Every structure is written in C-alpha cells, then in structure tokens.
Amino acid sequence: MGHDPPPAASARRRVVITGIGVISSIGTGVAEFAEGLREGRSGARPITAFDTAGFAHANACGIPGFVPERWISRLDPAELGRATQLSIASTVLALRDARLAPGRLRDQRALVAVGTTYGESGELDRIVARQVASGTRTVDKPTAARSASSRLSADVARELELTQAEAVTIPTACAAGNYAIGYGFDAVAGGEADVALCGGADALLRMTFVTFYRLGTIAPVICQPFDRDRKGILTGEGGAMLVLEDLDAAVARGAHIYAEVLGYGLACDAHHPVAPDQEGITRCINQAHINAGTAPWQIDYISAHGTGTKANDVTEAAAICQVFAGNLPPVSSLKSMLGHAMGAASALAAAGCALALENGFIPPTINHAETDPEIGIDCVPNLARPAELRVVQNNSLAFAGNNAVLILGRFAAGLA
Amino acid sequence: MTSAAPVITAWETYSPLGHGARPHLLGLRAAGRSAQPRTSVPDFDVRAILGRSGTRSMDRAAGLAVATTRRLLDRAGTADAPLGGYAPEDVGVVLGASDPIQSVMDFLRDSWTRDKPYDVDPSHVPRTLMNFAAGQCAIWYGIRGPNATICGSHATALLTLNYARRLQRNGHAKAAIWGAVEELSADRAAVESARLDGGAGRPAGEGCVMFLLEPAASDRPALAEVLAVEFGVWSGTDQIRGALAGCLRRAMVRAAVRRDEVLAVAPLSAPGLRGSAERAGAADEIGDVPVLTKTADAIGDTGAGSAAFQIVELLAEGAGSGRVGVVTTADGEGRVGCALLRIY
C-alpha cells in the first residue's frame, strides 16, 4: 500500500473474502443485497414479529418471508432460535457463494465466529411471557434449550459437520460483527485457521424494541442518519457471514475474491456503559490503520456506524472529522436502509463494503433531506454513487464502549 | 506476530470456596470432605465489596468480574504501575460469560406485568447485554485496550484464553486481563435445569477467575506458558471421545509436546456419558495420567467459568514442575476443547 507494514503484520498471510452470505430486510443473497444497496432500498415496514399493542409507533426492518428450512438441513430448525437460524442460513449461503462444499471443509481447521447483541434472548422472552400468563415459574424445556446464545456458533459447526472447528460466539453488542470478522482475520492471517466463517446475526426481538423505545431512541417511521431531523434508530435483523481464506489457497482453488481484509482495530472507551466517546472512536480508527498498514488519506469510503440517533451521529462524525481532517471521504450509513440489525449490523455493513469495492459504487444514506449542520460530512444522500474504490473503512461502536473498525481493500492482481 | 508463547503471570478469584486465591486453594485441598459441592460465592455483596458508588445497576456477574479484576490488579500492579506497568491502551480485557439470564428475565417481567410494555427501568438496560461486565471492568480500572466478551458454554474460558492469546499475538494488546464469570441466580438455575435433557447435572454454581496474560519476556515470573489451545466439534455423544482425542492430538503436535511431559489432566467432568467420553478421549491421547477432579468435587457447575477453575486447579497441582498440564472440556452443544500449559 506504499506504507511499511507494522511489525505485527510482517509475518502474516494475506486474507481475502471469498464468500458472502446475507439475509437482510432488503434482500437475501449477494445479488439481491448488492442490488438493494445500489438502489437505496428501504427495509422499513410495520412490525409483524410480535404484538406491538401499547406502542405509539412500531416500524422496523424485519426480514420478510425467511424460511429457515430452505437453508438448514441437518439440524431441525424447530429446535433453533431465530438468531441461530439466521446465523446458520447466512453461513450456508456464504459457503455456496464461495463454491465451497461443506464436505471439503470438514477436516480443515476452521474458525466459526458469530457476533451478536441479543443472541437468543427472544427465547427468554417466550419463557417469561408464558410464566406471566400462567402465573407460574415453569420453564418450557425446548424453549430453554433454544435460549443459549452460545449456540449461534456451535450450531453452524454442527450443521456443517466441521469437526475441527473452533466455534465461538462474540457478544460484543452492536460492534460484534466487526469483532468476529477481525477475529477470523487474525486466525487466518496467523496461519491458525484454513478458513474462517465469521460475521453476525440478530433477530428482530420484542426485547430490543422495548429497550430502545424506552430509551427514546426509536424513530417513528424511517431512519435518517446524519439528517438534521433524524429521530433515532429502527430496529432490524439479519444474518451476514463471510468466508475468509488465505490468499494463496483462494487463488490455488480458483476462488472468486471480493476483497482483501487489510486489518482491524479495537479500542475501549472505558468511559460510559451506553454513551459513545469521541476519543475512544478516534483511537479505534487509528488502531485499525496501524494494524492494516494504511493511512487515513487512502480511505475512499467510510461505512459509518451511523445509527441515526442524535448522540451517535454527532459523536461519530466528530471523530471521523478529527482523524480525516482535510481528507474526508464520503461517509454513508447502511442503517438508513437496513435499520439497526444489532450484532449483525457491522457484518452486513462489511458485506456491503466488499460489494461496494467489487462493484464500484458507494451505498447511499437514504431518507435524507438536510444534513445536520453539526455534522460536516458528505453522507452520499439518497442515491448510490459510482466510484472506483480501493480501500474502505467499516465503523462499529457499541454499548460498553466496545469499538471495532475494519479496513477492506479491493483485490486485484498487482494492486497490493 | 510474536512467536514466543505468552505466559500467565497472575490469577485471582471469587469462588464458592472464598474471596481470593488463598481461600480457594485451601478449599480445594479440603475437597471431597464435604458431601455437597458449594455453589455460591459466600457473602458476596457487590455494594459491600466495591462500595455504593457505581454499583447500583450492576448485576452479580459484573460485580464478580469487577471485584476479581481488582484483586488481580492488586496482585500484579503497584500504586505507581496500576496495570502491571502497562499503559491503559496496551491492555485488553477479555471476559468469558454466558447470557445474563436473570437480568434479561427481570427486565422482561417488568415489560409483561406493568401498565405499558415499555415501562421498564432504563438503568437496567446495560446489564441485559452480554458485554456489560467486560465494559464495567474497563470503566472501573481505566483499561482502554481491546475489550471483548466471549461466549461458548462450558468451553467459554478456553475460547476466551485463545482470544486473549490471539490479541497479544497479533499486536492488538501487549497484555490481556482475561477470565470468565458465571453468576448463580434463580432464573439461570431454572433455565439451565430445563436445558438438561433428562440426566441430572451438577448443581449450578458461580464464580469468577481472572488471569493476567503477558509476553514471554515479562518481568513477572511465569506461572504457566500457554503452549496450545485447540477445539473440535461433535454431533452425537458417541463422537465426543474421538473428537476430544483428535483435538488433543492436534494440540500436542502443534506444541511439540510428548506424552511423558504431561503431568495431569483437568477435565470438565460433566456427569453422565459426556464426562466419561471426555475422560476416555483424554486417556486415548495422553495415556494414564492423574485426573484432577477437586474442582468438580468442591464447587457446582460454574458454566462459562468452569474451564477457568480447571486451569486454576492445574496451576496449583503442577506448581514448580515445569511439566505440561492439560485442560479439557466437552460441552453440551457440540464443542470439545483443550489447552496445554507448561506449568512453572
């Protein structure tokens, strides 16, 4: 990249994205998802996943018509919570996209890393609802069995019979997808895994809606990141898993390469359980660049965390402006289209970044009328923009001050 | 990448056997004398231990994790060098945890029983998230490096160790405070008991262990060198034995450890088939070595924390030996895992 790699990077293998599996409110599979991003499709619709009586407004970005049986064959979908179903289904899609038969991976060293915020808390809600309705403390056994968030990763490995897999759930809230992809990168780059299946999954839950409604951060109809009239988030759901492989192995098997993972950074605010912190975000961005061997001026596009809340957008934009002073690239928020899919959000956005690199466009921030004057960025309003992207940055910030920033680069012979 | 294996240089705990490493080790020595394993950390009142400020909205798991981290920092740090001499940005926190079942269910009960579904306490929101406790450890002690939470049933602590090891190996942190926590609560006990498919389990227990992982070149003497951490997956209980043996074989090869270097194995020892298959798988690969079960005898099922307590038993048993201790696990979801530690 024209920079000396950091010491930590000198011995590592190059890691590329060779498969993408996405199940989202704007499309299932790579083609539909990419088309949705390019068209600026909105996933917002009335909530049907749970009873919304008592709430003044109830829009969210749910996935219409998700049929887990289409993708899950070995395990019984009825024995899996929805987040686990999304996790498995998006992994199956990713492997098909990568043209990797699970049998081929069976005896390879694999890392399965699934990020999530609420995991299977929806099953705990079912238990509580039944307890309250019945006036007992009875716990339904099948529901209890489905309620462990640790299963999001284990069941991917079981469905695919990956006998040598390390199956880990990374519940680092709304930055979890980036954490999982970063972890996959480290495992493959360090030669400790042949393949990493990594990303995030979260289901549209009553609990999530209750939480953000109570915090006063749910937008009534649409999500408008960076807009002066933004009213908050829409909750969402999704599954997004990536296949990461060592570059040489990918080339040797003739795999299609979407993008190269250049590196990532993590940093903790150590400041407040829920409020974002500018210093923590800037430090995280800088860490990501050190790890990736890139510099801010090389970044052609930033996929922002961009939730659409007052607090997030101002703080995040200020951090970006601080790091990128004078070299500010376009910055858009996929959450304007996808809502906030929690632990899946940054994995969906990473998939979006890879598709943007491959297809030469910048996904827009939709629902945009007028940029908040406190936010001095070009948010790519409403329409996707053609652009030859070389290096892009994917931001994610989370409650508990868990920040994770991922750097992806276009892969082309002779580029790197 | 750093090639030399990282080392564990300190650990601390709040366990059902007491507050701190010393009472825990004394309790382990007396294991087997009491008929019933102990389940809860005695006299653990978060507000009494950590003070009234900043603890009002803490759940028990976060309280245990923060209190244990404080003990660890007291052990490894000094007034001049509170984080063991590392800068706050250079230290990671990696905490293994399970779903915060009690906090989530309490929160949801309010939503189902009050006038409005959103009539819930906003100050209880953070603790319904799995990463709350790790974030609290960072906030309380100003630890600003990577902050991660790891979840994987009874393999959690081994997965956490591996995450901490990779953070350090790949230059994200110079040192890592890592460990695992589990809380004992009425709702968790009820949900876990309902998860058991017929067979009796050990009673639910709780506790937290935190370790300090440092580069091999640390000034502090190493308690153990982390030689290898490996995992595998089984689909039916008949595959556990083979899956664990294969996992151990890969670890032994990777770390170039011979059978005769192995001092002892500390298994999860789940009741029933899973536990017997785990022991058989370990024996297949490492032969007839002492099997450490004081932890399983002395304390209840500490879930996400279990492998951390197994490591503690190995460190105590092998201290001064220079030989290799093996931790194994076989959880109920399909994971097997092991870690090889050279114990000093």
Cβ count within 10 A of residue A108:
16
A192 touches chain B (CB under 8 A): yes
**Mean pLDDT (chain A, rounded):** 95
* Gap between the Cα atoms of B39 and B16, Å rounded: 6
Helix (H, G, I), strand (E, B) or coil at B262: strand
Query: B309 is written with which tokens?
Result: 């307590």
Give, to the nearest 10 degrees, the angle between helix B156-169 and helix B306-318.
70
CB A351 within 8 A of CB A20: yes
Catalytic residues of A: 174, 305, 340
Q: Which of A354, A349, A81 is nearest to A243 (CA)?
A: A354
First to last CA, chain A: 6
Helix (H, G, I), strand (E, B) or coil at A190: coil
Percent of chain A beyond pLDDT 70? 97
- At A413, the pLDDT band (50, 70, 90 cuts) reads low
Matching CATH topology for B7-214 and B224-343?
yes
CB B247 within 8 A of CB B254: no
Query: SS3 for B302?
Result: coil
Q: How far apart are CA B104 and CA B124, in angstroms?
A: 9
- Looking at the partner chain, which of A154, A161, A273 has a beta carbon nearest the beta carbon of B126? A273
Looking at the domain covering A263-409, what would its CATH class be? alpha beta
Helix (H, G, I), strand (E, B) or coil at A108: coil
* pLDDT at residue A273 tops 90: no
Strands B7-15 and B18-19: antiparallel
- B171 and A CB contact within 8 Å: yes
In this complex, the residue of B130, B135, B171 whose CB is nearest that of residue A273 is B135
Distances from the Cα of A75 to the Cαs of A153, B49, B202, in angstroms? 13, 46, 27
**What is the distance in angstroms between the Cα of A81 and the nearest Cα belonging to chain B?**
14
Q: What is the DSSP letter of A12?
A: P
CATH of range B224-343; options 3.40.50.720, 3.20.20.20, 3.40.47.10, 3.30.70.980: 3.40.47.10
Distance of CA B69 to the CA centre of its chain: 13
Q: What is the mean pLDDT of residues B289-298?
A: 96
CB of B177 closer than 8 Å to CB of B212: yes
* pLDDT at residue B2 is higher than 50: no
Write out the H or E segment, with its range, that includes residue A301: strand A301-303
ipTM of the modeled complex: 0.98
Residue pLDDT, tens place only, B221-255: 999 999 999 999 999 999 999 999 999 999 999 99
Q: Which residues, 6+ apart, have CB-to-CB distance to A289 below 8 Å?
A: A263, A265, A295, A296, A407
Quick one: pLDDT band at residue A343, thresholds 50, 70, 90?
very high
Q: In this complex, is the C-beta atom of B270 within 8 Å of any C-beta atom belonging to chain A?
A: no
Pick the CATH number of B7-214 from 3.40.50.9100, 3.90.1170.50, 3.30.420.40, 3.40.47.10: 3.40.47.10
Query: SS in 3 state form for A23-49?
Result: EECCEECHHHHHHHHHHCCCCCEECCC
User: What would the pLDDT profile of A146-184 be if each residue is shown by its tens digit?
Assistant: 999 999 999 999 999 999 999 999 999 999 999 999 999
Rounded average pLDDT over A279-302: 97
Joined together, the tokens standing for residue A173 give 């809230």
If we measure between CA atoms, which residue out of A332, A399, A402 comes closest to residue A371? A332
Average pLDDT over residues B94-113: 98
What is the DSSP-derived secondary structure letter of residue A70? G
> So where are chain B's domains?
7-214, 224-343
Tokens 């034995």 found at: B241
- Which residues of chain A have a CB within 8 Å of the CB of B83? none
Percent of chain A residues past pLDDT 90, beyond the cut: 92
B305 lies within 8 A of chain A by CB? no
Please write down the HEC assignment for all residues of A402-414.
EEEEEEEECCCCC
Q: Is the pLDDT of residue A414 over 90?
A: no
Cross-strand partners of B231:
B337
Query: Do B158 and B229 touch, CB atoms closer than 8 A?
Result: yes
Do the chains contact at A269 and B98, CB–CB below 8 Å?
no
- The CATH code for residues A17-252 is 3.40.47.10
Distance CA A84, CA A90 (A): 10
Q: Is the pLDDT of residue A271 over 90?
A: no
Task: Name the residue ranges covered by the structural domains of chain A.
Answer: 17-252, 263-409
Tokens of B124: 């209880």
